[in-house]
Amino acid sequence: MYNYCDSTNEKSEKMTYSEQLLDAIQNHDFSDNRILLKKALDNDDPEILASLAENLTDLGFTDLSKEVYRFLIGQFPKEDLFKVYLAEILLNDGDEDDGLQLLYDVKPDSDAYLESLLDLADYYQSNGLIETAHQKLLEAHKLAPDEDAINFGLAELDYLSGDYSEALDLYRELAKNNKTFGEVVLSQRIAACLAKLGEYEEAANEIKSHENDILSIDALYEAGLIMLSANDNKAAIKYLDQVIETQPDYVNAYPLLAQAYAAEDNNEEVLRTAQTGLSYNELDEVLYSLGAKAAANLNQLDEAERLLKKGLEVAPDNSDLRLQLSNLYLHQHQDEANIGLFKDLDDEELEPQAHWNLAVSYQRLEDYDKAKSEFLLAYPAFQNNASFLRQMISLFYELREIPTTKELIKKYLQVQPDDLDMQDMLDELNNENE
């Protein structure tokens, strides 16, 4: 009869205690962990124990792996690599003081010094101390100038710090022999650096020449953003459409897509994109603005008004939306509604365009004193604007304030010297005074 217990005992006798411990853990038998660990430390060779510590760390049993590394450090105090491995675990477990102390105890003449520098750089970067991390990587770079991992780390830190020119040089050097590094596609980092440096066309060309490397949805979005910045609207639309088709609730893509369609004068798609994007994010002020402009261009004035009113409910301090709605009210001769938009705002809170719009509405409603006041408030900003000056002249002429009217006409003729009708008007006023 087959004796399972005898077979198991024979198997155990052939296995090291380290192997028995790992085997028990993988079989979810944790009852003898401490016993097997002690036997492993008392009996197994150092090479076996080093492998045990690494495996325990990989399995997530860091409390056990720390004991092994501490034992090995006690046995081999000059083997600094064990200190580095223990420090990595301590830092991951939040025991920062002890972990950092171990790393700083590794001397420059140690074989493990490079590893300690890389761990220190990783720690400082993770904690937002970019400059300190950069210093550690530069020191590591001096020891191993051809190590791609170090050069990539430096490139990433330069990128995070906004040193895009330095990062670009490093990424380009790495890209000579690598398409990716970890999960980072180097061509995309190169394109991003170029875009940050304002080299949009070169960035766009980088994307086009590595189009097959654009695999993630975030990469598609970045490609769309760069293409839009390079004024390649059709390419931007292509990439951003792919983003939305893949993930319809990727809300950041909608305003960019709407801008691209607007640049192509495709009002139907601008409006559709804005309406769809707002169904996912009703707080997007850009979409209210772009959607309303497109609706107005399509003569869908009710929809334009609806979008602007909704936008102002969401963002009552958005002066751009308020001015858009004011312009719409002026176009529709809804002068009282236009005036009502600004009734709760002080003069110093209003833009010059708002004063101009109010002046027009007050003039239409024959409230001439207020119209005059609003024109005067807007005048400094628009004194070289022919359309503004014509409207202001019409008011002051209607009020028969002839000296002011004549001065305004003279100002207007400086801007539009070929307007014979206005010159005739000035001559007529001059003749009246003779």
Q: Nearest CA to 411 among 384, 430, 429?
A: 384
The mean-pLDDT minimum among 31-35, 281-285, 324-328 falls in 31-35
> Does residue 423 sit within a domain?
yes
> Does residue 412 sit within a domain?
yes
**Cα–Cα distance measured from residue 402 to residue 387, given in angstroms and rounded to the nearest whole number:** 20
Q: Nearest CA to 185 among 216, 158, 145, 161?
A: 216
Query: Residues 124-141: what's their mean pLDDT?
Result: 94
> Does residue 38 sit within a domain?
no
In tens, the pLDDT along 393-429 reads 999 999 999 999 999 999 999 999 999 999 999 999 9
In tens, the pLDDT along 294-309 reads 999 999 999 999 999 9
Query: Residues 349-365: what's their mean pLDDT?
Result: 96
Query: Residues 173-198: what's their mean pLDDT?
Result: 93
Query: Residues 124-143: what's their mean pLDDT?
Result: 94
| Residues paired with 181 in a beta bridge | 184
Q: Is the pLDDT of residue 14 over 80?
A: no
> Does residue 71 sit within a domain?
no
Q: Which two tokens stand for residue 37?
A: 């660990």
Query: Residues 268-277: what's their mean pLDDT?
Result: 98
> Does residue 102 sit within a domain?
no
| Residues paired with 180 in a beta bridge | 185
Exposed, middle or buried by CB within 10 Å (0-12, 13-18, 19+), for 146?
Answer: exposed
pLDDT of 9 reads 47
> Does residue 414 sit within a domain?
yes
Q: Which two tokens stand for residue 282?
A: 């009703």
CA 237-238-243 angle, to 5 degrees, is 90
As a whole-number percent, the residues of the chain with pLDDT over 90 amount to 89
Q: Is the pLDDT of residue 120 over 60?
A: yes
> Does residue 421 sit within a domain?
yes
> How many CA atoms, within 13 angstroms, populate the side-chain half-sphere of residue 205?
5
Residue bearing the bigger pLDDT, 89 or 13: 89
Cβ atoms of residues 388 and 356 within 8 Å: yes
pTM of the model: 0.74
The number of distinct structural domains making up the chain is: 1
Other CB atoms within a 10 A radius of the CB of residue 78 amount to 9
Q: Is the pLDDT of residue 7 over 90?
A: no
Q: Is the pLDDT of residue 383 over 50?
A: yes
pLDDT of 361 reads 98
pLDDT of 182 reads 85
pLDDT of 142 reads 94
For 31, 64, 128, 190, 218, the CA distances from 201, given in Å and listed in that order, are 64, 55, 32, 13, 20
With tokens 């409910």, the residue in question is 313
pLDDT of 27 reads 87
**Spatial CB neighbours of 180, under 8 Å, sequence gap ≥ 6:** 186, 213
The band of 131, judged by pLDDT with boundaries at 50, 70 and 90, is very high
**Coil/strand/helix, residue 184:** strand
> What is the distance of C-alpha 234 from the center of its chain?
22
Cβ atoms of residues 395 and 359 within 8 Å: yes
> Does residue 284 sit within a domain?
no
Q: Is the pLDDT of residue 13 over 60?
A: no
| Residues paired with 184 in a beta bridge | 181
Considering the chain, what is the average pLDDT of its residues? Answer: 93
Cβ atoms of residues 358 and 374 within 8 Å: yes
Cβ atoms of residues 250 and 221 within 8 Å: yes
The band of 433, judged by pLDDT with boundaries at 50, 70 and 90, is low
Cβ atoms of residues 21 and 52 within 8 Å: yes
- Domain interval for residue 402: 385-434
Q: Is the pLDDT of residue 2 over 80?
A: no
Cβ atoms of residues 273 and 261 within 8 Å: yes
Q: Dihedrals φ, ψ of 184, to 5°?
A: -95, 125
pLDDT of 365 reads 97
